[in-house]
Structure 1
Amino acid sequence: MSLLWHITCLLLLNSCTPGFSMQHGIVGGKVSAPHSRPYMVYIRDKLRKATCGGFLVREDYVMTAAHCKLSHLMVYLGVNDTNFLPDGIEVDPIPHPKFSMKTGDHDIMLLKLKTPATLNKTVSIITFPKTENEEISKDCTVMGWGWQDYHHESPSSVLKEESVTLIDSANCGMADALCTEGSTGPARGDSGGPLVCGGVAQGIVSFYQKQKNGDHLAVYTHISHYLPWIHHTMNSSTQQ
């Protein structure tokens, strides 16, 4: 993933240092029905105000991208409009131990909620893969809160989503990632949000790159490749 990661840093990031954030956005997306994606989580650093997306995978855990790690993260559950945020919940960030900001490898992180979520109609858990080799639907959805244009700052305060189609791994260029390609999809900032395929969170938005034909290749961390680490981390906290 190293080469694409560095190219992406040059194309769309303000900086490629630990803690960078892309300010959420779906290009070509439609407005989601309010609270129709109750697993979606809005993540913000309470001091720097930098933001990322995430998704609830257990009452006490949110999954997101490791490059979203900052020092004072808060998560907001049941959000539709970011102008009306509920009380935030403090978290303990647990990035994958092999994550590298230089290469972008292992871009996955769990956030341990200091106060477990109360599940209801607007806050619920999304399923992630049960086994590494389970079949994945090619028809997927990606969602986020902001930039609606690849080149101009145009955030949306309400959640937006877009349908995307997985491409063959051979065309992705990375054996450990999932990719979609087209003129619409995740843009600057949908970092940490889920790639949902067949009702299952299969990927985590990591970065994107502009192609020679003008389309954009979106790259997602392949969640099923990290199941042992995910279960070990979550089960360890339960035992404690």
Structure 2
Amino acid sequence: MSILWHVTCLLLLRSCAPGFSMQDGIVGGKVSVPHSRPYMVYIRDKFTKQACGGFLVREDYVLTAAHCRQHHLMVYLGVHDTNCLPDGVEVDPFPHPKFNMRRPDHDIMLLKLKTPATLNKNVSTVALPKPENEAISKDCMVMGWGWKEYHHESPSNVLKEAIVTLIDSENCGVADTLCSEGSTGPAQGDSGGPLVCGGVAQGIVSFSKDNGNTDHLMGYTHISHYLSWIHDNMKPPTQQQYETWKGKLDKF
């Protein structure tokens, strides 16, 4: 698994290397109607220009993949064409504490916006799963600015989207992962984007495995496994402090 993880990290992060720009799109699928996915967020380091995708889950928080962490991340809201970026917003990154680049699990990160977003028709949030173990639609949507061909750079600059079909989780190889398989789906540069099923963000684009033919196995961090961690980290600091003191008092 460790060898596979190194390979897939390189596969997804290659378009995030210095000198690359996030100019391409999801493999297959179609160009999104401009601003029809208002929760989509373009993420880029302001110095190295390394880039990923993400999605707005509250006016002050973006969810993305932990392996997208860089030192000076900026997020760009309401983006369709990356040639026309609005002013970026600085963030504080909160990767999952158990994430390790040598492994594919716990690949999830919250970004706290230093200036909360103003929600409107071009910038809005996407729903997260409910705590209960609800069924997930097998037909889901992925979107991003990554390559539109798996092995060939082909710029498009605009947001693309595609329908993918989930397969049985036991074939994913990691307990906290959903996966899809086929010739259509996320590729290099799409890391951190959402897997949206029935209007709910159920996964985060994490890794890809080339099966040696036209099909690829795509892995997505299963968000429902991390709902407690997400909600705990998005609590206001005053509430976190109150619950910490309350917990100490309850022990007496």
TM-score by length of 1: 0.92
Counterparts of 1:207 and 1:176, CA distance in 2: 13
**1:29 paired residue number:** 29
**1:105 paired residue number:** 105
**1:87 paired residue number:** 87
**2:135 paired residue number:** 135
Does the aligned pair in 2 maintain the 1:3–1:103 contact within 8 Å?
Answer: no
Does the aligned pair in 1 maintain the 2:34–2:80 contact within 8 Å?
Answer: yes
Q: Which moved more, 1:228-237 or 1:93-102?
A: 228-237
Q: Report the alpha carbon displacement of residue 14 of structure 1 after superposing the two structures with TM.
A: 4.5
- Structure 2 letter corresponding to 1:150: Y
**2:249 paired residue number:** none
What are structure 1's unaligned runs of at least 5 residues? Answer: none
CA offsets per residue over residues 117-142 of structure 1, 9 Å max, x none? 00000000000111152111111000
Q: Report the alpha carbon displacement of residue 155 of structure 1 after superposing the two structures with TM.
A: 2.7
Q: How does 1:1-240 map to 2 (within 5 A)?
A: 2-9=2-9, 14=14, 23=22, 25-131=25-131, 133-237=133-237, 239=239
Q: Report the alpha carbon displacement of residue 11 of structure 1 after superposing the two structures with TM.
A: 5.5
- Structure 2 letter corresponding to 1:90: E
CA offsets per residue over residues 30-84 of structure 1, 9 Å max, x none? 0000100000000010000111000000000000000110011000000011111
**2:244 paired residue number:** none
CA offsets per residue over residues 199-231 of structure 1, 9 Å max, x none? 000000001011144310000000000011101
- Structure 2 letter corresponding to 1:162: A
Counterparts of 2:203 and 2:132, CA distance in 1: 12
- Structure 2 letter corresponding to 1:170: E
Does the aligned pair in 1 maintain the 2:209–2:218 contact within 8 Å?
Answer: yes
Counterparts of 2:238 and 2:142, CA distance in 1: 30
Residue-pair matches, total = 238
Counterparts of 1:152 and 1:194, CA distance in 2: 23
Does the aligned pair in 1 maintain the 2:140–2:198 contact within 8 Å?
Answer: yes
What are structure 2's unaligned runs of at least 5 residues? Answer: 241-252
Question: Cα 1:132–1:179, aligned 2, differ >3 Å: closer, same or farther?
Answer: farther
Counterparts of 2:146 and 2:3, CA distance in 1: 27
Q: Percent identity?
A: 76
Q: Report the alpha carbon displacement of residue 154 of structure 1 after superposing the two structures with TM.
A: 1.6
RMSD of the alignment, in Å?
A: 2.3
Does the aligned pair in 2 maintain the 1:209–1:218 contact within 8 Å?
Answer: yes
Counterparts of 1:64 and 1:212, CA distance in 2: 28
Does the aligned pair in 1 maintain the 2:44–2:74 contact within 8 Å?
Answer: yes
CA offsets per residue over residues 115-172 of structure 1, 9 Å max, x none? 0000000000000111152111111000011311111112321100000000011222
Counterparts of 1:143 and 1:237, CA distance in 2: 33
- Structure 1 letter corresponding to 2:130: K
- Structure 1 letter corresponding to 2:154: S
TM-score by length of 2: 0.88
Counterparts of 1:229 and 1:218, CA distance in 2: 24
- Structure 1 letter corresponding to 2:167: I
Counterparts of 2:88 and 2:160, CA distance in 1: 21
Q: Give the match's secondary structure for 2:205.
A: strand
